[in-house]
Structure 1
Amino acid sequence: MSVASGYDVISRDNQPLSAGGDRQDYKEINRSARAAIRADCRRHLQEQLTRAGPGSLWRVLRPIIGSNKKHSTLEGITADALNDFYVSVAPRLAATVLAPSRPVHVRLPRVCTVGLRVQPVTMEALWGIIQGMKPSSFEGPDGLSVKTIQTFFDGFGHIVLDLVNASLETGTVPASWKHATITPIPKGKLISSDPSSTRPISMLPAITKITERAVQLQLAEYMERHHLLSETQHGYRKSHSCETALHVVTDDILRAMDSGEIALWAMAIPDILRPSTA
């Protein structure tokens, strides 16, 4: 029984009920129809999750669950004040970093004879990149969003392919692709007119993000293939995450305990991140 047939059963049975029909029969049909509707909803969600992949669970369920986020407006802050504050953060932070008192010895990874040369992507690879991106509706200066490209890829995918490959082959990025729209987001629930109480969200054009993803995939594959990454690095690597790092640390601690050894866990925090005692 489908959703449509379930609703049809309920609507048809309303008439004999009002004319003195059997209420018990109506309740049974009502329960059967609602069960069919729930089954169809579960099947629809399962199909969406299967197409989107396990990493898109929250994205699929968010429209159903809803969000408690409240959009707040920033009042009393001008665009010039925000811009002056954001561009001054990096120089002020760099000024607080002290030069090392002694040379820092860096252990370079093994050197390979094959350099990285970014290659053009195929139509299939490009579609895989675009399909794996979040369907953002943000439109850059070119009027295109990731969601638009995903929806109409069959019509102008070849144009996107030519643009991306032209950038990869020439090794250049057009100036318009580097222009980002900055949106200030309040850090907390309290709205303040102080620019330091906001954090900037940078939104690049969709074509820029697609090209970046194409380069990132090739760079990651090159680093993995030539073993240029340490086995202890879990960030920014495929099939690695905070969860895998915790598994490794936990396993090392348990092995030491089973061997009767003492396990110590030391965490280094840079001075710039330490709370001020002044």
Structure 2
Amino acid sequence: MPPLYSTSDLHSLNNHMRPDCINILRETGLLRRPPHRGSGRMFNYNFSTPGSIPSIWSCSRTATSSLRHHNKRQVHLSNLRPLPQSSQPVMKQRHLKLALLNTRSLNNKSLILNEFITDNNLDFLCITETWHKPLDYFSLNQTTPAGYTYMDKPRPEGRGGGVAAFYRKDIKTSTISSPAAPSFEHLTFKLSGPTPLVTAIIYRPPKPNPSFPSDFSDFLTQLSAISPSVLLLGDTDCKSATEFRELLHFFNFTQHVNFPTHSRGHILDLVCSTGLTIHHLSSFNLNIPDHLAIIMDIDIPIPTAKDKRTISFRNLKSISPSALSASLTSKISASPPPLTDNPSDLTKYYNETLSSCLNQLAPIKSKTVSFTHSAPWYTPELHKMKSRKRQLERLHKKTGLTVHLQAYTDYLQQYKDALNTARSTYYSHLIHSGSTNPKALFSTINKLLKPSNNTSNSFTTDKCNSFLSFFQTKINTIYKDLSSSPAPTACTPSPAAPLLTSQSLSQFSPMSPGELPKTMKGMKTSTCVLDPIPSHLIKDSLPAISTLITEIINSSLRSGLVPHSLKLAAVTPILKKPGLNPDIMSNFRPISNLPFLSKILERTVATQLKAHLCSNDLLEPFQSGFRSQHSTETALLKVTNDILLCLYIYI
């Protein structure tokens, strides 16, 4: 244990004369310490002043430190100019992970491939031999994980064949239309960027075709003209076809697969590229198809993806009908509607009042979301089975024994059956519980059987303006045809035909507040984005605003004017058929959605039109004119639309 010193002992040591060896130690440099990196000063032991604790800091910097700091200060920041901020998306080398697989029927392997995409964090999964038919999207939807979408090209007729690609939604892709080749099937698309990457998925049937070399040569010529970076993926016997290898060499393509990709030891899969580098090419045995999955990495400059985005929403479930009715009543009593017969002013007051109450009860909130949702039917039991499957897979790879391979294969089949059973049970219960809710039922069926909407992600501002110009041109053409068409001639009834009626519908009758609930009873609660408040909330709070709605309808019927805000419609372009080119405007059908108040006006006119037809015995002739195509209610609404269309155009 070291000795303990008192205060007097420490003072005596401080006044103690330095030993004779201090000078010798200082001359030999043993008391010298290296310079401090922060200041460049040297430690200097100066005992010239007896009776005090000397300072060990020097008063000046060393020559070395001065030179070092001088060199650091040679850069003049005033000579630097800040780089201009660019509005273009930042381009960087993005790491893409791709996989290729020949599935030999996608129908019984969809859920396993779904997990294969998510477990390996794939950006693209390109598959051949899907065996799906045109307009058959069930197996494709099952394979697509959350946050992914797909593009496909089935075989037009016959069984077998078919190619598809599953990819992340945040990667911008566009299909390339090319003429179909009789000797092979292909799906071609490109990724956006300064140098677009053109990718083609190819499937060549096993039967020999003498036209394949010429068809494939024309195909490669077209791809090489689009971009210098081309990637070919697919299934073809490239080891036995000398002419095929010569074609690849002529177009500077490199075949990267040099290991067996089939269970019988053949090289049947094609991974060829030109103008880009492929890393970490390897195989993965799924033990379901007879082909191995080929996994690879590619570095390509594309815009950086935004994993999260900010959305705006309202908590509409927090609004109770009683609270909304009380808010509307107090709002209308505090600021009554204007005393005018102009329907536009009344409609403006209606929209402002309902919007104000909605903002008060359910204000707009913002939230950052990533849209990564797991499958709702995936149970904890399936998670345990998946863990067990991975244990057996690792054991088989570690030992390589046949018994472990058989155990892994058998358990994989059990896991696949459990996945199918869990998914079927979930959707069966969902369809059974939604049998009384047509909206939920059709939404579930469409999710299972309809193709995913790949066009909504490509709607830019320029494309929306192009749609506006395209549809405006069509409307102007209709106006021009209407104005140039001759006036209809009055037809003279035959002597045998009796005169049906002598009364005419010259004006509409006003509607009472009691008739409004009957009119709205059979209306759907579909909401338009132009509505100030959701339609179901209007029905829930109808007693508080029935008088205001009735006054707007009667004002429009008396004046023969339709308010300008009720003439506006939200137009949504929808592809006429799946698989059409989304860059061609004529391939879209415009679906217009009118405000809810405009639909009430339409239903009111249709009701009075039907009453007029019934009172004058005109309903039966009217029905016979539309019986082949439409029901009576649909026909009345079509005629009502024509009547209101005249008000929209000419007033």
TM-score, normalization by structure 1: 0.54
Structure 2 residue 552 is the aligned partner of structure 1 residue 153: no
Query: C-alpha distance in 1, partners of 2:515/2:501?
Result: 29
Q: Is the 8 A contact 1:181 1:204 kept in 2?
A: yes
Aligned with 1:202: secondary structure?
A: strand
SS in structure 1 of the partner of residue 591 of structure 2: strand
Q: Aligned partners of 1:138 and 1:188: how far apart in 2?
A: 24
C-alpha separation between the residues in 2 aligned to 1:124 and 1:157?
9
Name the structure, 1 or 2, with higher relative contact order (CA <8 Å, separation 6+): 1
The one-letter amino acid of 1:118's match is F
Question: How far does residue 112 in structure 1 lie from its aligned partner after superposition?
Answer: 1.4
AA partner of residue 453 (structure 2)? H
Question: Which residue is equivalent to 1:135?
Answer: 525
Cα displacement (A) at 1:59:
4.2
Displacement of 1:87: 2.4
- Do the aligned residues in 2 keep the contact of 1:116 with 1:219 (CA within 8 Å)? no
Aligned pair partner of 2:463 in 78, 88, 95: 78
Q: Which residue of 2 aligns with 1:189?
A: 578
Q: 1:233 aligns with which of 621, 625, 644?
A: 625
- Partner in structure 2 of residue 214 of structure 1: 604
Cα contact 2:572–2:591 (8 A) shared by 1? yes
- The residue matched to 2:589 in structure 1 has which SS? strand
CA contact (8 A) 1:144 1:206 kept: no
2:514 paired residue number: 124
Classify 1:64/1:200 alpha carbon distance in 2 versus 1 (closer, same or farther; 3 Å). closer
How much has 1:196 moved relative to structure 2?
A: 0.7
Question: Could you list the runs of 5+ residues in structure 2 that have no partner in the other structure?
Answer: 1-428, 494-498, 636-651
Which string of whole-angstrom CA distances, capped at 9 and with x for unpartnered residues, describes residues 54-91 of structure 1?
Answer: xxx73474467664443332426612211221122356
- Looking at structure 2, the residues matched to 71 and 181 of structure 1 have their Cα atoms a distance apart, in angstroms, of 19
- Cα shift at 1:133: 0.9
Query: How much does 1:134 deviate?
Result: 1.0
The letter for the 1-side match of 2:632 is K
Counterpart AA for 1:139? V
> 2:598 & 2:633 partners in 1: Cα distance?
25
Greater percentage in strand: 2
Aligned partner (choices 548, 563, 568) of residue 179 of structure 1:
568
* CA shift for structure 1 position 213: 0.8
Residue 201 in 1 paired to residue 591 in 2? yes
Distance 1:107 1:217 in 2: 29
Segment of structure 1 superposing worse, 174-183 or 150-159 = 150-159
Is 2:529–2:570's contact at 8 Å kept on the other side of the alignment?
A: no
Larger helix share, 1 or 2: 1
Deviation digits for residues 4-33 of structure 1 (CA, Å, limit 9, x no counterpart): xxxxxxxxxxxxxxxxxxxxxxxxxxxxxx
Q: Deviations over 1:134-180 (max 9, x none)?
A: 1113231x513432312221332222222222212222211121111
Shift of the 155–113 alpha-carbon distance from structure 1 to 2, 3 Å rule, reads: closer
1:245 counterpart residue number: none
Paired letter, 2:601: T
Match of 2:472 among 87, 92, 95: 87
How many residues in Structure 1 have an aligned counterpart in Structure 2? Answer: 187
Relative to structure 1, is the Cα distance of residues 96 and 133 closer, same or farther in structure 2, using a 3 angstrom cutoff?
A: closer
Could you tell me how far apart the structure 2 residues matched to 1:132 and 1:198 are?
30
CA distance in 1, matches of 2:512, 2:631: 23
Distance 1:110 1:188, change over 3 A: same
1:269 paired residue number: none
- C-alpha distance in 2, partners of 1:239/1:210? 15
Which amino acid is the alignment partner of residue 149 of structure 1?
I
Decide whether the 8 Å contact of 2:528 with 2:570 is kept in 1. no
CA distances 1:230-251 after superposition (whole Å, capped 9, x unpaired): 262235653799xxxxxxxxxx
- Where 1:123 maps in the other structure, the secondary structure is coil
How much has 1:220 moved relative to structure 2?
1.9
Q: How large is the RMSD of aligned CA atoms in angstroms? A: 3.7
- Aligned-partner Cα distance in 2 for 1:188–1:121: 43
Paired position in structure 1 for 2:7: none
Structure 1 CA distance for aligned equivalents of residues 613 and 556 of structure 2: 22
Deviates more, 1:119-128 or 1:200-209: 119-128
Separation in 1, partners of 2:528, 2:445: 22
Amino acid paired to 1:72? N
CA distance in 1, matches of 2:539, 2:607: 19
Counterparts in 2 of 1:237 and 1:117: CA distance versus 1, 3 Å: farther
Correspondence for 2:551 among 162, 173, 179: 162
Q: Output the amino acid matched with 1:170.
A: S
Q: Post-superposition shift, 1:227?
A: 2.7
The SS at the match of 1:213 is: helix
Bigger mean CA deviation after superposition, 108-117 or 221-230: 108-117
Letter in 2 for 1:219: L
CA contact (8 A) 2:571 2:591 kept: yes
Q: What are structure 1's unaligned runs of at least 5 residues?
A: 1-37, 49-56, 242-278
Give the deviation of 1:117 after TM superposition. 2.5
Q: Could you tell me which amino acid in structure 2 is paired with residue 85 of structure 1?
A: F
